[in-house]
Amino acid sequence: MFLSTLLISAMVIVNVPASETVIAIESPATEMSSASQNVVFRSTQKLSSSDGRELYFYSNGRCEGYDGDRLMFSTRYKIMGNEVRLLDERGNTVYKGTISWKVKGKTINSVSIAGTRYFAR
């Protein structure tokens, strides 16, 4: 069972398993400088989950999530090592997940966030 959570400050809708606790993490602006630090995407990174949802990571630091043709969220992201963070409009971390690479810093293999794993196709 999934609980749809509307985060007012980020205007982001994300499906989260009811058993998972969602924590908004306050992070100082100095902790994160650029959304694409150490990441050089040459093109959009498209990832899909087994239930048909899709994530798009753009080289300009934006991320979008779709459920079929419906846009679930559009926000900024930050990648630090093997961790990806979805940010609100003030740069605060809203969700954290893990990322694995095909080519370090250039091509994403998979992302796990909010209880869902997305794979490059």
Annotation: CATH topology of 2-120: Lipocalin (2.40.128)
Q: Please list the helix, strand and coil fractions of the chain in percent, rounded to the nearest 5, in that order.
A: 0, 55, 40
Q: How far apart are CA 87 and CA 115, in angstroms?
A: 17
Give the pLDDT mean for 1-26. Answer: 41
Q: With 50 as the cut, is the pLDDT of residue 31 above it?
A: no
33 Cβ partners below 8 Å, 6+ apart? Answer: none
In the chain, pLDDT over 90 holds for what percent of residues? 54
Q: What is the pLDDT of residue 99?
A: 95
pLDDT of 52-104, one tens digit each?
999 999 989 999 999 999 999 999 999 988 999 999 999 999 999 999 999 88
Rg (C-alpha) for the chain, rounded Å, is 13
**Which pair of structure tokens corresponds to residue 36?**
């694409």
Banded pLDDT at 30 (limits 50, 70, 90): very low
The widest CA-to-CA distance across the chain, in whole angstroms, is: 37
Q: What is the DSSP letter of 25?
A: B
Q: How far apart are CA 68 and CA 21, in angstroms?
A: 25
